[in-house]
Amino acid sequence: MNYADLRREYISKEFDIKDTDKNPFVQFENWFAEAMNAGTEDVNAFILSTCSKEGKPSSRIMLLKGVDDKGFVFYTNYLSRKSKELIENPNGFILFFFKELHRQIRIEGIIEKVTKEESKAYFDSRPAESRIGAWASIQSSKIESRKELEDKFKKYSEEFSDTEIPLPDYWGGFRLIPDYFEFWQGRENRLHDRICYEKTEGGWNLSRLSP
């Protein structure tokens, strides 16, 4: 395999500051809707990058579960590696890639926990099996075998068979509160269009970046 020979051109329409909304949240919603209409699979999937207090980075795929005027919401186990890193260092980064449209959206900011009420509302909306799975798995912890995980799932399935499945204390949401957006549109000859939004006291400043 010659990895250096793997390449393709991005034939896409122009994306300029004049084409953007002045509000980056609105611009995000516009591109997200276009990605949905283009048939993008797992359109709400994004890469979440975190960093330990020692500066060691890590990344993983997450699913977006909410957007409001404050930021972008996702849910996880608070005992996981990502959660521990966010508690130590709340600076975070999320990246969406819409392959069909040759687009990326980078969003940076501070990540904080959502309220317990928000976490419970989302937790209660999940399928029962997913809620039981949250009880069965202490995310990122070492286990002896898959059977151990399946046995715990069976245990909690029986325990909660005739009762409400409660929200675990160690499970809930985070919200990224952005101070930077970057919208990337692939173009021919690697002359990509990149428009960024930087937060200021007065709102958002827009700039074009060199590809």
> What span, in angstroms and rounded, lies between the C-alpha atoms of 11 and 44?
24
Which residues in the chain show pLDDT less than 70?
none
Amino acid (1-letter code) at residue 122: Y
> What span, in angstroms and rounded, lies between the C-alpha atoms of 97 and 35?
10
Q: Which domains does the chain have, with CATH numbers?
A: 9-124+169-209 (2.30.110.10)
Judged on CB neighbours under 10 Å (0-12, 13-18, 19+), 97 is middle
What pLDDT is stored for residue 4 in this prediction? 79
> What span, in angstroms and rounded, lies between the C-alpha atoms of 162 and 134?
18
What pLDDT is stored for residue 199 in this prediction? 97
Active site (catalytic) residues:
190
Please write the tens of the pLDDT for every residue from 104-125. Answer: 999 999 999 999 999 999 999 9
> What span, in angstroms and rounded, lies between the C-alpha atoms of 205 and 202?
9
pTM for the whole structure: 0.91
Cβ atoms of 12 and 102 closer than 8 Å = yes
What pLDDT is stored for residue 91 in this prediction? 95
> What span, in angstroms and rounded, lies between the C-alpha atoms of 37 and 57?
34
